[in-house]
Structure 1
Amino acid sequence: MASVAPSRIAALTRLRSIIFQTSYNPTSQRTGAKYLKRRLRGPSMIEYYPNELSISALNKNFRGLDLVDEYEEKRLQDVADKKKRGKGAPKKAKSAADSRRAQRKR
């Protein structure tokens, strides 16, 4: 029985990959092709989670309605009340010298 030379088998696999349009990987290195071929998740996730209908979205799409979002109004009022009591978010620094870190280093 005659055995086939390894160079012939390599040439055959190279030709097979050209014909069937597959990747030729004689050293069996990891290429990530399995993950690149996989179907994308994004479109099915977008279909699964529907667009939420909110008052702010309605106001944005239909400018003439001028609907009042009670939850947003209450949130803004709570933020204003916290600021009055000194419990609000800290002011953003306009420059590096204004930052709290710079004051701490002195």
Structure 2
Amino acid sequence: MAAAIAPAPSRLAALTRLRCSIFQTSYNPTSVRTGAKYLRARLRGPSMLKYYPTELSVAKFNAFAQGEWTMIDADEIQREKDVEDKKKRGKGAPKKAKRKEDSRRLKRKK
């Protein structure tokens, strides 16, 4: 019986490289991890967006209803009241400069 002659490893590598170029697959002779499995996988984001409902707040509802029905936003009323109280105590946000000369930064540089 004649022994089967195996092709040289360099020939097999050349054949694999040619096969990859023909079928447009990645040539990875050293079997390095490439992450191709995860890049080919279906994206999860759209499915997650469908699963979780959108959050509806009072402000969004009032904007959506546009005058037909309005809800009172207790949190917003409380926030506005707190802002007014802070302003009365002098703890509010500083006034915005109307002109460049009124800016605090400009005064500090001089």
| Shared fold, TM over 0.5 | yes
1:11 to 6, 9, 14: 14
TM-score, scaled to structure 1: 0.66
Runs of 4+ in 1 over 6 A off after TM superposition: none
Question: Which residue identity does 1:98 align to in structure 2?
Answer: S
Q: Cα distance 1:6–1:53, how it changes in 2: closer, same or farther (>3 A)?
A: same
Question: Which residue identity does 2:78 align to in structure 1?
Answer: K
Q: Give the Cα separation in 2 of the matches to 1:10 and 1:102.
A: 73
Q: Does 1:41 align with 2:44?
A: yes
When the two chains are superposed, the root-mean-square deviation of aligned CA atoms in Å is 3.3
Matches within 5 A, 1:22-101: 22-26=25-29, 31-64=34-67, 65-91=69-95, 98-99=103-104
Gaps of 5+ in 2: none
Gaps of 5+ in 1: none
The number of residues matched between the two structures is 104
Deviation at 1:100, TM superposition (A): 5.0
Q: Cα distance 1:37–1:92, how it changes in 2: closer, same or farther (>3 A)?
A: farther
Task: Flag the structure with larger Rg.
Answer: 2
TM-score, scaled to structure 2: 0.64
Percent identical pairs in the alignment equals: 61
Q: Cα distance 1:13–1:99, how it changes in 2: closer, same or farther (>3 A)?
A: farther
